[in-house]
Chain A
Amino acid sequence: EVQLVESGGGLVQPGRSMKLSCAASGFTFNNYDMAWVCQAPKKGLEWVATISYDGSSTYYRDSVKGRFTISRDNAKSTLYLQMDSLRSEDTATYYCARHTTALGFDYWGQGVMVTVSS
């Protein structure tokens, strides 16, 4: 059974940093691209970033370029999102998701809440 379990969320002040983790199991992690998708409270879904199966390629939405870094450790089957220079508009639930070219986001974690506030 595919499982994606996020951790690392919470309350953080504007301008500070936070790192999210996503532990994957139930599939061969290093065969798949992975992504982060966020959802602001009572709002829609927004793709944040994707990393290729081997970590060689990364893609970001414009609003997080230069501030967020997606990475992975295939030996640990873990995906990360380093978030720097956080802004109030980054407040959202962040989902880890498996991202395939053919299917889209076919498995999602339970999500982790990040609140950026002073």
Chain B
Amino acid sequence: DIQMTQSPASLSASLGETVTIECLASEDIYSNLAWYQQKPGKSPQLLIYYANSLNDGVPSRFSGSGSGTQYSLKINSLQSEDVSIYFCQQNYDSPFTFGSGTKLEIK
């Protein structure tokens, strides 16, 4: 199974700051990496697919990058509505594994 190691587990930042979340796959997943946002009490929503493609309707302050085994999600100009848990997920091979999540809070 492909293991997804996500860091940090939690993050606190001020409004307007830029934050980065990392995800490391245990083997090459050839950019088959998605990022999801889960707001409190809600279902997850797809933010980024294929490592760097922004899903429809997602604000441009979100961006994804990476290749091989290393990937990252960057959020520019942090807004209050970005308070969420963020998950990475490899879509390369079954079982389709998720990272453990990063809880983002506002300072």
Point out residues on A near B: beta carbons under 8 Å.
35, 37, 44-47, 50, 59, 61-62, 95, 99, 101-111
Tell me, in angstroms, the Cα distance from A47 to B96 when the chains sit together: 6
B43 contacts A50, C-beta separation under 8 Å: no
Number of residues on chain B facing chain A (CB within 8 A)? 20
The DSSP consensus for interface residues of chain A is: strand
Tell me, in angstroms, the Cα distance from A61 to B95 when the chains sit together: 6
Complex interface: chain B residues within 8 A of A47 (CB) = 89, 95-98
B44 contacts A104, C-beta separation under 8 Å: no
A45 contacts B98, C-beta separation under 8 Å: yes
Can you name 17 A-B pairs with beta carbons within 8 Å?
A44-B87, A45-B36, A45-B87, A47-B96, A47-B97, A47-B98, A50-B94, A61-B95, A99-B96, A102-B49, A102-B50, A103-B46, A103-B49, A104-B46, A105-B36, A105-B46, A106-B55
Tell me the B34-56 residues at the A interface (CB within 8 Å): 34, 36, 43-46, 49-50, 55
A103 contacts B34, C-beta separation under 8 Å: yes
Closest chain B CB from A10 CB (angstroms): 19
Complex interface: chain A residues within 8 A of B55 (CB) = 103, 106
Complex interface: chain A residues within 8 A of B101 (CB) = 44-45
CB contact under 8 A between A104 and B34, given known A47-B95, A47-B97, A59-B94: yes
Tell me, in angstroms, the Cα distance from A62 to B94 when the chains sit together: 10
Closest chain A CB from B21 CB (angstroms): 14
Tell me, in angstroms, the Cα distance from A57 to B42 when the chains sit together: 30
Write out, one digit per residue, whether chain B residues 72-92 have a CB within 8 A of any chain A CB (1) or not (0): 000000000000000101010
Tell me, in angstroms, the Cα distance from A37 to B99 when the chains sit together: 14
